[in-house]
Structure 1
Amino acid sequence: MTNKHNPSKVTIDGERAYGEDIVLLHQHDNLILHTDWNDDGYLVAPLFNSAKEWNNLIEGLASIFFEGIRLAGINIPSNFQIEHYHHLVKDNQILHLQVMAYTKLLQLHQFPTDVRKLTSRVSDLVGVKLKAHNPQTNEQVFHLRVIRPGYSDFNPLHRDVWLDIYRDCVNIYVPVAGSTSESSLPVVPGSHYWPESEVERTIAGAVMNGSKYNVPGLTGAKKELNLIRPNPLFNEILVFSPYLIHGGAANLNYDQTRVSLEMRFWRE
C-alpha cells in the first residue's frame, strides 16, 4: 500500500476481511456531532490565549522527552535540539524502543502544565464537557509520539475504535517539534461515517513491515483514500474523531524527527 503522503512501501500482514454494513459512529457517542466540523471529522484551531501558556506546555513536554532519553542511558549534548533526536539513537532500534517505553502512556499527574486548561479548551471546541479519563480502562494518560525521518515508527492506517477501549472519545494532536506538512498526522476526511463494509482491515492487530501493532490495520477500501495532512502550527491543536481513518504518518522531513502530544478525552 502506498499513498502520496507515504510513498515508501508498506506491507501489512495478517488475516483480513471487510466488515459488517454498519457505521460504528452511529452506535457510539459522537462527541463532535453538534460541531460545524462534524462532516470532516477534524479541526485545526488555536489552543491557548497566550504564547506563554503554549511555550510552557512545549517546554514541559520537551523536558519529559529529555528524561526518557536520559533514562535510556543516552548523553544529551548541551546544544541538542529535539528535531535531531534521530542522530542520538541512529540505527539502534533497541535504544529507541527504550526511550519510547518512557514516552508512551505517561500518567496524567506527569502532565507538565495545568491539564485543566487544555481539557477546557478541547471541551469548548467540541461543545461537550470532557475529561481525560478513559472509563473503559480507568486510565488517565497522555502520549508523546516520536516519528524519525526514514523509519517506520508510525502506526498503519486505522480507526482507533477498532479497539473497543477507544470508543466514545475525541483525539488531539499537538505539535511539539518537527511537525510539518511533510510529517504531521494524515487523516481521511469524512471517513468516520464510512460503513465497515467499505473498508478492509486485519482481523487482529496488524503486522506492518514486520512490526506488531495492537490496533488492526486498514488493508483496502472501496472508496478512494484521499489522505490529507492537517498541519497545526504554533499554538494550534488538531482535534479529530477516533472513528476517522488516520495514521500511516511516515515522516518525510529530510532531517527532523517529529514529536507530538497525543491524548484522548471522554464525556464528563
Structure 2
Amino acid sequence: MSEQLAIPSKKGEVSEEEWQLRIDLAAAYRLIALYGWDDLIFTHLSVRIPGDEHHFLINPYGMMFEEITASSLVRIDQEGNKINPDDFDINPAGFTIHSAIHAVREDAACVMHTHTTAGVAVSAQKEGLLPLSQQSLFPLSGLAYHDYEGVALREDEKARLQADLGHARFMILRNHGLLTTGPSVAEAFLNMYILQRACEVQIQAMSGGQPLVRIPDTILSSIREQAKKVTKGMGGNLAWPGLLRKLDRIDPGFRS
C-alpha cells in the first residue's frame, strides 16, 4: 500500500492573494481530474502571481491531478526555475508552452493545456473544430491553431506558438490537444470546459454516419454578445463558486 504524500502547508508563508490563487488552481486541477480530462501526470495548468517578479504557479511533476493541493503547487520564475528549492520538480516540457504564452499575453493570467481523447481527435482532423453545436460557437469566435513540432522542449518553437496564438483565448494544438487562456483561473477553466465539450459533440456527431448540419456564419458573428448575456457579464465567475462547492462536497483537501 502506497503512502500518502505529506505536503507542509504554505498558507502562513505566502500572501493572501497568492493563497487564493493556489486554492483556485488546485481546484482546477481537481476538476480536470473529476471530468476525466487528465492524462496521468502529464499536461499542465499555470497561473501568474501578480507582481513585478513574474512568478507562476504550476503542478509538481509526478503528482496526479486528483492529489494537487494549494500547498503542493510550485512557484517558478519565467525560466521555469523553482523559487523554493525544497519544492517538487516540474516538467520542463510543460512550462515551455506556458512560459511562451505568459511572456507575451498580459491578459492570459491563467493557461490550461489538456490531452483529452476528443481534443486530440479534433486536433488531428484537417478542418479542426466545426460549427456543429452551440458550444462550438464560443471557441470559434476566437480560435487559433498551432502545428505539431514534437515534444515542446525547443526554445525556438516559442515564437511560432506566440504568433499563432495572437490574441485568441482558445487554441487547438495540432495532433496534440487543447489550450485555453483567461484573466483568471475561473475564466480559463470555463473556456476549457466549452472547448472540450464542443470537441466531444463533434466526435459523437461524426460517429453517427449521417450528413452534418453546420451553423451558418451569420449566427457565429453575434455569439460574443450573446455569451455576455448568458453569463450575466460575469464570465467564468458565474459558475466558479458552484464548482468550488462541488469539490468541497467531494473532498475539500485541495484547499490545504
Which TM bucket (shorter chain)?
A: under 0.3
Structure of higher RCO (CA pairs closer than 8 Å, 6+ residues apart): 1
- TM-score normalised by length of structure 2: 0.25
User: Which has more strand, going by share of residues?
Assistant: 1
User: Which has more helix, going by share of residues?
Assistant: 2
- TM-score normalised by length of structure 1: 0.24
